[in-house]
Chain A
Amino acid sequence: MDKSPAVNDELDRSLVQRYLNGERTAGDELVNRFHRSVYNVALRMLGNVQDAEDVTQTTFGNAFASLESYDPKYRFFSWIYRMTVNESLNTLKRRKDVVSLDGSFDVATPDASSESDAEERVGRALLELKPEDRAVVVLRHFVSFSYEEISDVLDVPVKTVKSRLFTARERLRDSLVAASA
């Protein structure tokens, strides 16, 4: 299930450079390449449409505002996903002061099919994970990143990625079994 844009570092670097040179369409293309996956990562991290929208907007706002500081020796997608995850984690921290994460999940699906049921179940189970573990699961299963890519995005060792992922899966499995019981 590869739902991420095709990794193309050269294209991304080129688009960044062209945008910095004043070419608006290059910026539009960068947005087109990443908006959906950024939004979906935020949605899975937060389980709330409004928050995901805000994180998406903030992520791109910050990215474009600081594009000049982007170092092309790093991969653009790592950079923008890192911003997305960090902004999502910040949102969760802010939200924690007001609303307890009681498993409330607010992601509408087009219909009430089995797809919707799966959405609800997985969404709730994801929210029961620690945010750091959730980030690993989201990047692995919704963006199809490798361990190394997740390590790059989250700036943690590969060993930590695997540890978090394996643990999170066990918990997800337990949550889903308990929910269906």
Chain B
Amino acid sequence: MNMLTPYQQELIHREIDGANTPEQSAEVRKLVETHPEAHALMSSLRDLDSLFRQLPEHETPAHVRDDLKHTVLLNLKAPQYERVQGATPSITRWASEQWNGVINFMGEFMLTKKVLIIGTTAVAVIAIIGQAVVGYQPSVFDAGTVGAGDGMSGVQQAGRYKGKIDETVTLSSPEIQALFQDDQVLKLIQSEVFRNTMRNDTFRNLLASDVFAQLMAAPSFQELMRNSSYQQLMADANYQELSRRAEFQALMANANYQAMMADANVRNLFANANYSQLMKNDTYRNLTANETFRNLMANQTFRNLMKNDSYLRLMANDTFRQTMAKDTYLKLAANDTYRVVAANETYLKVMSNDAFRRLEASASFRAISRNSQLADTFLADAMRVARVAP
């Protein structure tokens, strides 16, 4: 039996793949009829192809599809701001879609199975907001009573009035006007500390982000903010020191570590296959050699927090994890103010403040937050509203 040439073999493979021209197909047919080895190859490849065709296509699991919906929502950008002239890409429609997405997200949120322990991540968000309130002793919402102090060290201030305000953006949207009618929101906006904070680019970028808005809307996040174990942990010096370490932050973002912590038997992690994988991770090994980390692991407050349902639910939240992966967070997590803020009581008040949540829930407000000059105008308008109010 003559061996097939490489060309003949390729012709037969191409025939199976439907890649031959009619002339080449004719050549294959003739070859198969006259050449036993060609016939055998053709037959076996057809069998293989037939076997593949028998296989069912698997359905994507429902929970994965749900997660993908969240992915779509979380990465959705705001449309162009409302335009004064011409067609208006509807920011209202966008806000509505966002809201519906959040509703769906929240409905499924409590069913999320993964439980991830990302200790520093919550603190990061705290830091972002807390920078606004460090050193601010009386009521956060008393306009003009107290300045922000010098707690903004390490945070670059946004340049003001660098250019002309985008003429396509308007503050006259009903949503913004409604916010001005909310006494608590207005009081918050008019507070000096808030006004100063709004001039910080990083803070405004965070406010403008969709993921942060959703995080703020998550009841478990609010619950966590009020949890005493969590607050104690934030105030713990060991934890604060640890959370500033780059290797710890890297660990928190490590997929293997997260997978391990997602295991229902996380407290028995030494029996977990993911754990052995984690053990091979250089970042983790460096971290475990760190005395501060070991102190944290021995810290009763930290262990209490690990048992807290609210905290675990939050850690299971993809939105939260995505927030933590943002550059905005990483930038702020490295900020000197971080440690001070983490223990700041005023921050916790702000985070659990309904007015702040309403403000952050506003798509228009977040759109405004993207532009430093527009934010200035917004604040000025808020102050003007205060002056004309009876």
How far is B49's CA from A25's CA once the two chains are assembled, in angstroms?
A: 37
With a CB–CB cut-off of 8 A, which chain B residues contact A114?
54
Q: How many residues from B make CB contacts under 8 Å with A? A: 46
> A19 on the interface (CB 8 Å rule)?
yes
State the main secondary structure of chain B at its contact with A: helix
Question: How far apart are A157's CB and chain B's nearest CB, in angstroms?
Answer: 15
> B390 on the interface (CB 8 Å rule)?
no
Query: A7-43, CB under 8 A of B: which get 1 and which 0?
Result: 0000000000001111111011011000110011001
Known A162-B10, A176-B48; judge A118-B55 contact (CB<8 A): yes
> B78 on the interface (CB 8 Å rule)?
yes
Question: How far apart are B154's CB and chain A's nearest CB, in angstroms?
Answer: 27
Q: Which chain B residue shows the least CB distance to A166? A: B13
With a CB–CB cut-off of 8 A, which chain B residues contact A60?
68, 71
Question: How far apart are B66's CB and chain A's nearest CB, in angstroms?
Answer: 10
Question: How far apart are B126's CB and chain A's nearest CB, in angstroms?
Answer: 24
- Is A141 a contact of B76 with CB atoms below 8 Å? no
Which residues, 50 to 98 on B, are CB-close (under 8 Å) to A? 51-61, 64-65, 67-69, 71-80, 89, 94, 97-98
Contact of A142 among B52, B71, B322 (CB under 8 A): B52
- Is A172 a contact of B48 with CB atoms below 8 Å? yes
Q: Which chain A residue shows the least CB distance to B6? A: A166
> A67 on the interface (CB 8 Å rule)?
yes
Contact of B59 among A24, A36, A98 (CB under 8 A): A36
With a CB–CB cut-off of 8 A, which chain B residues contact A122?
51-52, 55
State the main secondary structure of chain A at its contact with B: helix
Question: How far apart are A134's CB and chain B's nearest CB, in angstroms?
Answer: 13
Known A147-B19, A169-B13, A172-B48; judge A109-B56 contact (CB<8 A): yes
- Is B89 a contact of A61 with CB atoms below 8 Å? no
> A56 on the interface (CB 8 Å rule)?
yes
- Is B77 a contact of A22 with CB atoms below 8 Å? yes
- Of B273-281, B283-291, B303-311, the one contacting chain A is B273-281
Can you offer 24 A-B residue contacts whose CB atoms are under 8 A? A19-B76, A20-B77, A23-B97, A24-B98, A24-B101, A27-B72, A27-B73, A27-B76, A36-B59, A40-B58, A60-B68, A61-B71, A61-B322, A64-B72, A98-B273, A98-B277, A118-B55, A141-B52, A142-B55, A162-B13, A166-B9, A166-B13, A173-B44, A176-B48
Contacts beyond the supplied A28-B72, A110-B56, A176-B51: 9 A-B pairs with Cβ under 8 Å: A19-B76, A23-B79, A31-B65, A31-B72, A35-B65, A49-B61, A115-B54, A115-B55, A166-B10
